[in-house]
Structure 1
């Protein structure tokens, strides 16, 4: 069974040097990078927890209290859905626009509204927690809301890129290339 999220980096690495967008079907939504080890580990832990909860639901069903078994089954399914949503989080691109998938909310910005996409040096949240550290962030400025400050698309300290600076650079370059082709903005130079 092909896992499409594992092929993102391979497609980028196999692309020709003159083609920053290595995908043939550009109408399909794609994440231009692999999920990071922290995100995969958290999802694996949640799936392990869900297996124990499912086992508990079976044991409760065998003891004869079906209402309790159904409640525990619903809890297990919610944990599985949470783990799958955690794996889908990130930045996705297609010919239609740029999509930022969060745990509870997904926002899509059409390319016509995308302004400059650039990498900046700024304080970023460490693994999404309130603690901030100095790092790099890929920032999007919308043309229709230039004064509104949006959360960064990618950071060097989120669950996908913590301790993987080269993966962050590759993903940021790819998103900037998509923005340059579809939004008509030249990719900004990476701030050091």
Structure 2
């Protein structure tokens, strides 16, 4: 059995030539890109910390201090929820609309509420920290007025940049993700 994924001469098909909507089930919410290594590593570290908290809770429970064990187990549960939520952060699309998932809040817009999705050069946060660098951001502009008019309103918070945890050191992946989200927007707004 040939293992083409291990060879350097594998077929290098152009990812931009793939259809923008390759999914059969368009009603299911999906992120059109994979979580980046920084996001996965951060979540893995949080899960490692949660495992230490759970072991601490077990040791404290065997020592007979049940309130302390409960506090450690509760803290571990909160860290696990935070790690899983960090993995879900990003932009999700479906036939219903566009969903922007953050750590603490989620904003869902129907396609008629989206005026435009475009990439812009601007100062962006580096890994979500207060430090900013010049980079690209995917801007999602809300439509203003009733009836889904194309008049532009205010932009949503910028979660998708080429310097966030999903795309740091992977500019090609950011370009592909931005193109796919723009294609979902164009096709979904055209189908309504």
- Provide the residue aligned with 1:149 in structure 2: 155
Gaps of 5+ in 1: 1-12, 186-192
- Provide the residue aligned with 1:169 in structure 2: 175
- Provide the residue aligned with 2:40 in structure 1: 40
4+ residue segments displaced more than 6 Å: 13-16
Relative distance call for 1:60 and 1:14 in structure 2 (3 A) is farther
Q: Is the 8 A contact 2:118 2:182 kept in 1?
A: yes
Q: Equivalent residues in 2 for 1:64-79 (5 A)?
A: 64-79=64-79
Q: What is the CA-CA distance between 1:149 and the residue it aligns to?
A: 3.5
| Distance (whole Å) between structure 1 residues aligned to residue 153 and residue 184 of structure 2 | 23
| Distance (whole Å) between structure 2 residues aligned to residue 162 and residue 18 of structure 1 | 23
Matched, 1:181 2:175: no
Q: What is the CA-CA distance between 1:15 and the residue it aligns to?
A: 8.0
Q: Is the 8 A contact 2:143 2:153 kept in 1?
A: no
TM, length-normalised to structure 2: 0.85
| Distance (whole Å) between structure 2 residues aligned to residue 172 and residue 128 of structure 1 | 18
Q: What is the CA-CA distance between 1:147 and the residue it aligns to?
A: 3.7
Gaps of 5+ in 2: 1-12, 146-151
Q: Is the 8 A contact 1:27 1:96 kept in 2?
A: yes
| Distance (whole Å) between structure 2 residues aligned to residue 136 and residue 184 of structure 1 | 26
Q: Is the 8 A contact 1:125 1:133 kept in 2?
A: yes
Per-residue CA distance 1:137-187 (angstroms, 9 max, x = gap) = 1111111273423322410000100010010011001000000001239xx
Q: Is the 8 A contact 1:140 1:153 kept in 2?
A: no
Q: What is the CA-CA distance between 1:67 and the residue it aligns to?
A: 1.1
Relative distance call for 1:58 and 1:18 in structure 2 (3 A) is closer
Per-residue CA distance 1:78-118 (angstroms, 9 max, x = gap) = 00111000001110000000000000000001001111111
Relative distance call for 1:153 and 1:64 in structure 2 (3 A) is closer
Q: What is the count of residue pairs matched by the alignment?
A: 173
Superposition RMSD on alpha carbons, in Å? Answer: 1.9
